[in-house]
Amino acid sequence: MFDRFNRKLNYLRISVTDRCNLRCTYCMPEEGIKLFRHEDILSFDEIAGFTKVAVANGVTKVRLTGGEPLVRKGVTTLVRMISDIKGIDDLSMTTNGTLLKQYAKELRNSGLHRVNISLDTVDPEKFKAVTRLGNINDVFEGINAAKSAGLYPIKINCVIKESKDEEEAKAVTRFCKENDLEIRYIHQMDLVMGHFSVVDGGTGGNCSLCNRLRLTSNGKLKPCLFSNIEFDIRDFGFEEAIKRAAELKPRCGSKNETGAFYNIGG
Ligand code: SAM
Ligand code: SF4
C-alpha cells in the first residue's frame, strides 16, 4: 500500500502492552503511569487478526514492542500467531532484555526472527540510575540467551543525549564491537515538544522514507509518531482504519500530545 506521498507502507510496529518492569527516566515517571483498562487492551486474536489484514495490504515487516513486550502474559503465543501469517519476512521485537533469559528460546521457537535490546550504558550503577529498577546483569544474560537462541542479528538501541561520542555511548559501542552486536544510536526525543531526530545507524526519522504504521496496545492505529492522528481499529474496523491511516499519514510529523513512548513503543 502507498500513501499520498508515494511512500510504500510495509512496516507495522505493534505495542502489545503499556506495562513495563523498568522506569527509564526519559520514558516513564518513577511512580509509573495510569494503565489502560484491561478491557481496552487488544486481545491476541484482535492483534493477529489486524496484522493479517495489514499483511494483505502490503505489510511485510512486523515489530512487537511496548511498554515491555515480555511482561505481557503469553506473549510467545502471540508471536506464534503472527509468525503463522504468510507474507511476513521480518518479525522482530524491541525489548529491554531483562526477561530474555527466560523467553529467548521460546520466542525463537515461536517464529521470532530477531531482537533489538535497549542498553544506554554498560555501567551497573548508571544503568540502575537510568532505568530506576533494572539490574544490568539481567540484560547481559538476556543478550547471551538471545545469541544462543539464534535471534540474529541482535541490535542494541542506545539512547544518547547529544552525540554518540558521549562517554556512555562510547562504552556501549565498544561493548557491541566486542560482542558481535549492531548498535543504533537514538537521540532522546520529546513527542509533545516535537523534538525528533534521525536514528543513527537505523531507518527512523527520515520522513520522506517513512514506511511505518503503529498500533497501540489499546487499538489506536497511528500513521505518524509525531502526530495526534489515530484511528481506533475497533471503531473503524481493521481494513478501514488501515485505509484512513494510509490516506492521512502526514508528509512530516510535528508533535504528539496523545501518546507517549511507553504506549506507542518508539
Ligand atoms: N521496553 C522496550 C525497550 O525499552 O526496548 C520496548 C519499548 S521502548 C518505548 C522502545 C524504544 O524507545 C527503546 O529503545 C527506548 O530506549 C526508546 N525510547 C523511550 N523513550 C524515548 C525517548 N524519550 N526518546 C528516544 N527514545 C526513547
Ligand atoms: Fe520500559 Fe522501554 Fe520505557 Fe524503559 S524505554 S521504561 S524499558 S518501555
Q: What is the DSSP string of 225-240?
A: TTS---EEHHHH-HHH
Containing domain of residue 46, as a range? 11-264
pLDDT value of residue 255: 80
Determine if ligand 1 sits within 6 Å of the CB of residue 188. Answer: yes
Cell of 163: 552525540
**Chain position carrying cell 520466542:** 107
Averaged pLDDT, 85-89: 98
Q: What is the pTM of this model?
A: 0.96
For residue 117, how far is its CA from the centre of ligand 1 (angstroms)? Answer: 10
* pLDDT on residue 257: 77
Q: How many whole angstroms separate alpha carbon 221 and alpha carbon 229?
A: 9
For the chain, give the mean pLDDT. Answer: 94
CA distances from 42 to 27, 37, 223, 239 (A): 22, 11, 18, 16
Span 113-172, pLDDT tens digits: 999 999 999 999 999 999 999 999 999 999 999 999 999 999 999 999 888 999 999 999
User: What pLDDT is attached to residue 258?
Assistant: 73
Top-confidence residue, 109 or 205 = 109
- Least confident among 82-96, 116-130, 243-257: 243-257
The answer to whether position 4 is within a domain reads: no
Q: Is residue 37 part of a domain?
A: yes
Q: Is pLDDT at 204 greater than 80 in this prediction?
A: no
pLDDT band at 261 (very low <50, low <70, confident <90, very high): confident
- Can you tell me whether residue 54 is helix, strand or coil? helix
E strands along the chain, which residues?
11-15, 61-65, 90-95, 114-118, 155-160, 182-187, 212-215, 220-222, 231-232
Identify whether 1 is part of a domain: no
For residue 3, being part of any structural domain is answered with no
State which ligand 2 atom lies nearest to the alpha carbon of 159: 5
93 lies in a domain? yes
Binning pLDDT at 50, 70 and 90, where does residue 254 land? confident
Write the CATH number for 164. Answer: 3.20.20.70
* Euclidean distance between CA atoms 73 and 79, whole angstroms: 12
Number of domains the chain is built from: 1
| Residue list, ligand 2 pocket, CB within 6 Å | 20, 22-24, 27-28, 66-68, 96, 118, 261-262
Query: Is residue 50 situated within a structural domain?
Result: yes
Largest CA distance in the chain: 49
* β-strand partners of 214: 13, 222
User: What are the angstrom distances between the C-alpha of 155 and each of 13, 62, 94, 96?
Assistant: 16, 16, 9, 12
Tell whether 35 is covered by a domain.
yes
The answer as to whether 99 is a domain residue is: yes
Which are the contacts of 160, defined by CB distance < 8 A and separation ≥ 6?
A: 120, 166, 168, 169, 185, 186, 187, 188
Beta strand pairing call for 212-215 and 11-15:
parallel
> Which residue's alpha carbon is nearest to atom 1 within ligand 1?
68
Q: Is the CB of 261 under 6 A from ligand 1?
A: yes
Q: Residue 220 burial (CB < 10 Å; 0-12/13-18/19+)?
A: buried
Residues of the chain above pLDDT 90, percent: 83
